[in-house]
Amino acid sequence: MTEAREDARQQLVRTAAGMAAAGLAPGTSGNLSVRCDGGFWITPTGLAAGALAAEDLCLVRGDGSWDGPYAPSSEWRLHRDLYSARSGVRAVLHAHPPFAVGLACLRRDIPAFHYMIARFGGDSVRCSRYATFGTQELSDAALEALAGRNACLLANHGVLVCAPDLEEALALGVELEELCGQYWRACLLGHPVLLSFEEMAVVLDKFTRYGRQGW
């Protein structure tokens, strides 16, 4: 095993702990991965994200074969297909945080109610169509909802986020749940006033120029 691989595993364990601490992985839900030579390291199925060691992680290859003391997360296809479709993606986070799941159960896209929606690549965060967890159908639905975006809701399930590194994946996961909570609250009081296409285009341009997204 190379030193670089060892580093990636340690970073994955640290970020998974951060994901649990941020409330993004209740119980044993949620999973996280990082790209490596020949595939990706991913958190195993059935273990809490906040209590992992580097030795618990699983290496999954592009053909779906894997090595590790535990089976990979049942959602490994979501991760594999994102790495395969997008060369700039080096980290993937999947989680079941409460506000996002609530909105995903309404199968509602999150519109441009706040300018920070632009951080996810466009003027909305889409909700995918429904498919059973762990299936290729779910992965296909997720990739569709992620077109031009770095996050989506998964209908009646959770969220999926991709990023150029683990730190950014966690930051985006935390930000998305925060925005879902804000949208939820605004909807409780009425109909949020949405930003126009032009207003969001200005923000998207600024974010791209400041390197906050557009990778």
Catalytic residue numbers, as ranges: 75
Closest distance of CB 139 from Zn ion, Å: 12
Cβ neighbours around 193 below 10 Å, total = 8
Among 44, 97, 158, 173, binds Zn ion (CB under 5 A): 158
E strand or H helix at 179, and its extent? helix 166-189
Cβ distance to Zn ion smaller for residue 96 or 212: 96
Binding piece for Zn ion, criterion CB under 5 A, among 118-126, 136-144, 151-159, 172-180: 151-159
Cβ distance to Zn ion smaller for residue 158 or 173: 158
Binding-site string for Zn ion from residue 107 to residue 146, where x marks contact by CB under 5 A and - marks none: ----------------------------------------
Q: How many Å apart are CA 130 and CA 169, to the nearest integer?
A: 23
Residue 191 identity (one-letter amino acid): H
Please choose, from the candidates 204, 205, 183, the residue with its C-alpha nearest in 3D space to the C-alpha of residue 193.
183
E strand or H helix at 136, and its extent? helix 136-145
Question: Can residue 39 be called a binding residue for Zn ion (CB under 5 A)?
Answer: no
Binding piece for Zn ion, criterion CB under 5 A, among 43-51, 134-142, 152-160, 170-178: 152-160
The site for Zn ion, by CB under 5 A, has a size of 1
- Look at residue 76 and give its three-state secondary structure: helix
E strand or H helix at 205, and its extent? helix 197-209
Closest distance of CB 46 from Zn ion, Å: 13
Q: Which residue has the tokens 């999973």?
A: 31
Site residues, Zn ion (CB under 5 A): 158
